[in-house]
Structure 1
Amino acid sequence: MELSNREGQEVPQVTFKQRRNGQLVDVESKDIFANRTVVVFALPGAYTPTCSSTHLPRYNELADKLFANGVDEIVCLSVNDPFVMEAWGEHQEASNLTLIADGNGEFTEGMGMLVDKSDLGFGRRSWRYSMLVKNGRIEKMFIEPEKPGDPFEVSDADTMLDHLNPSAGRPSFATVFSKPGCPYCARAKQMLVDHHIAYEDISIGNRDITTRSVRAMTGNATVPQVWIDGKHIGGAEEVAAHFGEKAPV
């Protein structure tokens, strides 16, 4: 296997078959890349573990930072058919990304990244890589090392963001355990919004997440219970103190 770095070259000109609004449509390379700055990350297959758990979600999470540093679009590309890519996107956190099906592998082959993964039952698929493309010309490529298996070391979103802006910060993220109708929960979530912190809201009271779950994790069964960047902050009063605000009444 010989993977070539194509920095300075033009991206391949191909026609992608894509699903848009329930229809198959043609999307040309020039429609994606001409007069624009595009980040592409390519992966071996939809629904595969690393792609679903790490590669795609982190690009979606860092999308706003990438956009703020001059990127117009973030494309996830895989040698899958458009139906698979559409379905995968619906089951992923991919609202900030454009998923492109390179069904025939033409773009991937033109990039010199089409590899034989028959040992995994995949047939010919894309090697994992990422690239920064400006007006159709490849400015930077991060190609995973030629090792057995599916290495994932350099094509990640953080590496791309560091290339664009080494001093770029990372967005904070929060998880909130709450109950519907709880005014303190609403106040805690509003404080997160006011401080531009995205959050996941987990409603307790069903058979999967209960007050006992919250007590086991925090020693306290009251809500809300808030974590920011992996650190347990506590309830609404503790969130207010975290942000230096007056405690809610």
Structure 2
Amino acid sequence: MSIQIGQPLPDIEIKTIADGRIEPARTGALFAGRKAVLFAVPGAFTPTCSEKHLPGYVQHVGEFQARGVDVFCLAVNDAYVMQAWAASQQVPPGLMLLADGNADFTRALGLERDGSAYGMGLRARRFALYAEDGVVRQLHVEAPGEFRVSSAEAMLAALAG
């Protein structure tokens, strides 16, 4: 069962990628005391993720920051892939990538999917959530093959309304 509105985000060790550096962190500490949007992509360097999903947040990160909201991008990829993807996408300061190489955090959220049919193994479902002080306040999970409710524009609208 996936995480629900009102539940705390699980506290799992993960790798962060910010300003070109890879650092270990715990998700409990990352999300404590802040307003945050966490969006997940099935994989770095994949078409929709690289052409639409991450670029939308790169374009709009300033609008989230103006609302006092930090932005995090999650993928079940290793930290070095996420570091290279951040560089290739020119991810600005204020948008932190999270490498969930073994899918520990993704599985704890209950938002994993089996991409074995596509040679991808276990991956994150495409989703976006809004959390305050580590507690989920909004959760938007995409139907398979869709990209609507987890976009930066959709999350900005959800936060406004």
CA drift of 1:19 comes to: 5.4
Task: Tell whether the 8 Å contact from 2:18 to 2:97 is kept in structure 1 after alignment.
Answer: no
Give TM-score scaled by structure 2 length: 0.92
- Give distance in 1, aligned partners of 2:137 and 2:19: 32
Relative to structure 1, the CA distance from residue 88 to residue 124 in structure 2 (aligned partners, 3 Å threshold; closer, same or farther) is same
CA displacement 1:149-169 (0-9 Å, x = unmatched)? x32121001111011114xxx
Relative to structure 1, the CA distance from residue 164 to residue 23 in structure 2 (aligned partners, 3 Å threshold; closer, same or farther) is closer
Task: Tell whether the 8 Å contact from 1:5 to 1:143 is kept in structure 2 after alignment.
Answer: no
CA displacement 1:91-121 (0-9 Å, x = unmatched)? 0031141111011101100111111100110
Structure 1 gaps of 5+ residues are: 167-249
In the other structure, the counterpart of 2:157 is 162
- Give distance in 1, aligned partners of 2:123 and 2:101: 10
Alignment of 1:127-138 (within 5 A): 127-138=125-136
Give TM-score scaled by structure 1 length: 0.61
Residue type of the partner of 1:86?
Answer: Q
SS of the residue aligned with 2:131? strand
Stretches (4+) displaced over 2 A: 17-25
Q: Give aligned-pair identity as a percent.
A: 38
Alignment size in residue pairs: 160
Task: Tell whether the 8 Å contact from 1:42 to 1:77 is kept in structure 2 after alignment.
Answer: yes
Which has the bigger relative contact order, CA under 8 A and spacing at least 6? 2
- Give distance in 2, aligned partners of 1:52 and 1:92: 8
SS of the residue aligned with 1:46? coil
Task: Tell whether the 8 Å contact from 1:69 to 1:164 is kept in structure 2 after alignment.
Answer: no
Relative to structure 1, the CA distance from residue 130 to residue 87 in structure 2 (aligned partners, 3 Å threshold; closer, same or farther) is same
Relative to structure 1, the CA distance from residue 132 to residue 82 in structure 2 (aligned partners, 3 Å threshold; closer, same or farther) is same
Task: Tell whether the 8 Å contact from 2:73 to 2:98 is kept in structure 1 after alignment.
Answer: yes
In the other structure, the counterpart of 2:75 is 78
- Give distance in 2, aligned partners of 1:86 and 1:6: 30
Relative to structure 1, the CA distance from residue 19 to residue 40 in structure 2 (aligned partners, 3 Å threshold; closer, same or farther) is closer
CA displacement 1:141-197 (0-9 Å, x = unmatched)? 11002x3xx32121001111011114xxxxxxxxxxxxxxxxxxxxxxxxxxxxxxx
SS of the residue aligned with 1:162? helix
Task: Tell whether the 8 Å contact from 1:69 to 1:165 is kept in structure 2 after alignment.
Answer: no
Instruction: Let me know the Cα RMSD of the aligned residues.
Output: 1.8
- Give distance in 1, aligned partners of 2:71 and 2:125: 18
Return the match for 2:120 from 109, 119, 122.
Answer: 122
Instruction: Report which of the two structures shows the higher radius of gyration computed on alpha carbons.
Output: 1
CA displacement 1:123-145 (0-9 Å, x = unmatched)? 00000000001001000011002
- Give distance in 1, aligned partners of 2:20 and 2:60: 28
In the other structure, the counterpart of 1:68 is 66
Structure 2 gaps of 5+ residues are: none
- Give distance in 1, aligned partners of 2:77 and 2:133: 25
Task: Tell whether the 8 Å contact from 1:66 to 1:161 is kept in structure 2 after alignment.
Answer: yes
Relative to structure 1, the CA distance from residue 133 to residue 19 in structure 2 (aligned partners, 3 Å threshold; closer, same or farther) is closer
